[in-house]
Amino acid sequence: MWCPKCKNEYIAGITTCSDCNIPLVEELTEENTKAYEDASIPLSDFFPEDFEEENGNPSSAPKPKVYVKKDLKYEDVKSTAYTFIIVGIVGIAFLILIGLDVISLSMASYMRTLMLFVMGALFLIFLVIGIRYFKKLSSLKDEIAEEENASKDILDWFLANHSATSIDSEITDKPSEEEQLYFARYEVMIQELRRQFPSLEESFADHMIEEIYEKLFINQ
């Protein structure tokens, strides 16, 4: 086995060049070595399509975002708000005790004053951040209600107009492997969903397909 870039030879069983981190070839040819001399020739012409992903360079194709349900986001924001508020209040209370000499610190007076000023400003910022997060909670409550209504409408419509049998009937050359069958069903379902709800956010549409798939094919 040979590396088409540095042209080092490797023993059988090794498939990637340790220096160049690229796939090895069985023999050096003008074509596979020229790929590294001529930048205008894409490496994908000589190597598998997943070459970039295998070597730590993910494809430039956009990856779908993972949908986070609004109630989970609400709990996360609430937890963050409480954390900043509690840290801010406890911190300011601690500084007040230091300022009143209830808690004594052995340091120069100017250092003590500087510490109180800097730490006081920091804990005040914590309080402000916590309050801002709390303000987000009211809007998130409305978003939770909207999400629940939208989910119910989509789920009711899909289950009323489609079934597991009707979805499978749309698949030509039905795969025998479960994973391939899932993706075939997914394509049919996502097309139907987008046809009825064209403005649906992509990540939310994927989330709804997961729920619908579970009801039609798993918990049937």
Mean pLDDT (the chain) is 82
- pTM for the model: 0.58
More confident site: 32 or 3: 3
Check whether 1 has a pLDDT greater than 70. Answer: no
Residue 16 pLDDT class (50, 70, 90 cuts) = confident
- Please determine, for residue 98, whether its predicted confidence score (pLDDT) is greater than 70: yes
pLDDT value of residue 56: 47
Question: Is the pLDDT score of 184 beyond 60?
Answer: yes
CA dist., res. 37 & res. 156, Å (int) = 59
Confidence of residue 22 (pLDDT cuts 50, 70, 90): confident
DSSP line for 159-209: HHH--HHHHHHT-SS--SSHHHHHHHHHHHHHHHHHHH-TT--HHHHHHHH
Out of 41-55, 93-107, 128-142, pick the least confident. Answer: 41-55
* Three-class SS of 156-172: HHHHHHCCHHHHHHCCC
Cα separation, 47 vs 31, whole angstroms: 12
Compute CA distances 129 → 87, 96, 121, 135, whole Å: 11, 21, 12, 10
**What is the mean predicted confidence (pLDDT) over 72-101?**
93
Q: In this structure, are residues 152 and 146 in contact, taking their beta carbons and an 8 Å threshold?
A: no
Q: Tell me what pLDDT residue 40 has.
A: 43
Which residues are CB-neighbours of 30 under 8 A, at least 6 positions away?
Answer: none
| Confidence label for 6 from pLDDT (cuts 50, 70 and 90) | confident
150-182 pLDDT, tens digit each: 999 999 999 999 999 999 999 988 888 888 999
Give the type of residue at 101: D
DSSP string, 42-106: -GGGTS-TTHHHHTT---SSPPPPPP--HHHHHHHHHHHHHHHHHHHHHHHHHHHHHHTTSS---
Task: Give the tens place of pLDDT for each residue, 43-81.
Answer: 444 444 444 444 444 444 344 467 888 999 999 999 999
Spatial distance between the Cα atoms of 170 and 151, rounded to a whole number of angstroms: 24
Query: Which one is predicted more confidently, 173 or 120?
Result: 120
- In the three-class reduction of DSSP (H, G, I as helix; E, B as strand; rest coil), residue 115 is classed as helix
**The token pair that represents 164 in the structure block:** 């597991």
Q: Say if residues 2 and 24 touch (Cβ distance below 8 Å).
A: yes
Cα separations in angstroms, 5 against 37, 52, 97, 196 = 8, 16, 68, 52
Q: Which two tokens stand for residue 33?
A: 């070595």
Position with higher pLDDT, 122 vs 34: 122
